[in-house]
Amino acid sequence: MSDLITITDAAKRFVKGRETISIFDKLNLTIEAGDFIAIMGPSGSGKTTLLNLLGGIDRPTDGAISFDGARVDKLTESQLSAWRAANIGFIFQFYNLMPMLNAARNVELPLLLTGLSAKERARRVQAALKIVGLDQRASHLPREMSGGQQQRVAIARAIVADPKMLLCDEPTGDLDRKTADEILGMLQLLNREMGKTIIMVTHDAEAARYANRVLHLDKGRFVEQGAMA
């Protein structure tokens, strides 16, 4: 497999008043295209911060982040949003759906930034909803769906623009075991059948078993917990 992402000697510090909080210093990580990585670690260890760096929501204080050979940390804000829209899908613990929009409208959101016609957008939305098994629910509002269904809508939204990489922050943190396993099975399918590279933060060792690699983030460093698949 080829390298999709390399993080080289990345540092992240937050300045709060007179205090500087250092989250990482000289963090290194290589992610191969097609990998499925679980990231575990104590609360406050910097897992969400790392996903934000990987997804171009935030920038490293020092060091480099490359995606497909190009320096993401060097992009301007507008280049970064375009890059993010084309390459990254985000999935969150609490789904982050727009409550007033039905499933189809929620899934369509990332496509509104593209130049696609309404007809083509509708076609892609329907295809994404079909992949997650919710094509019959297109006109339902989030509050009319279960947590698991809402997360499937969020997955459809994350894949609708056909990004290379999915970043998932505790995607099953709010779901029961059975529903969590359905969602995790779906992520595994997207990884294996559609070649999506997946980085998933989780506190759940059962969830981490769906990944090929588990990394443990502790005190700003990675400790590999052993390969699975």
Ligand X SMILES: Nc1ncnc2c1ncn2[C@@H]1O[C@H](COP(=O)(O)OP(=O)(O)OP(=O)(O)O)[C@@H](O)[C@H]1O
Residues near ligand X, by CB under 6 A: 14, 16, 21, 23, 41, 43-49
Q: Are 87 and 67 in contact (CB under 8 A)?
A: yes
* From ligand X, Mg ion, none, interface partner of 228 (C-beta below 5 to 8 A by class): none
- The minimum distance between CB 18 and ligand X, in angstroms, equals 13
* From Mg ion, ligand X, none, interface partner of 49 (C-beta below 5 to 8 A by class): ligand X
Q: Which is nearer to ligand X, 17 or 226 (CB)?
A: 17
* From ligand X, Mg ion, none, interface partner of 106 (C-beta below 5 to 8 A by class): none
Distance CA 50, CA 217 (A): 10
Count of residues near Mg ion by CB under 5 A? 2
Q: Are 60 and 10 in contact (CB under 8 A)?
A: yes
Q: Are 65 and 5 in contact (CB under 8 A)?
A: yes
Q: Which is nearer to ligand X, 45 or 172 (CB)?
A: 45
Q: Which residue has the tokens 């996903």?
A: 51
Q: Which is nearer to ligand X, 48 or 149 (CB)?
A: 48
Is residue 48 near Mg ion by the rule CB under 5 A?
A: yes
Q: Which is nearer to ligand X, 44 or 185 (CB)?
A: 44
The residue among 169, 140, 151, 147 whose CA lies nearest residue 41 is 169
Give the helix, strand, coil percentages of the chain, each rounded to 5: 40, 30, 30
* From ligand X, Mg ion, none, interface partner of 2 (C-beta below 5 to 8 A by class): none
Q: Are 216 and 223 in contact (CB under 8 A)?
A: yes
- Range 18-47, binding Mg ion (CB under 5 A): 47
Q: Which is nearer to ligand X, 21 or 229 (CB)?
A: 21
How many residues would you count in the chain?
A: 229
Dihedral angle sign, alpha carbons of residues 148, 152, 158, 163: positive
Q: Are 158 and 85 in contact (CB under 8 A)?
A: no
Distance CA 145, CA 135 (A): 13
- The minimum distance between CB 47 and ligand X, in angstroms, equals 4
* From Mg ion, ligand X, none, interface partner of 89 (C-beta below 5 to 8 A by class): none
- The minimum distance between CB 39 and ligand X, in angstroms, equals 9
- Catalog residues that contact Mg ion under the rule CB under 5 A: 47-48
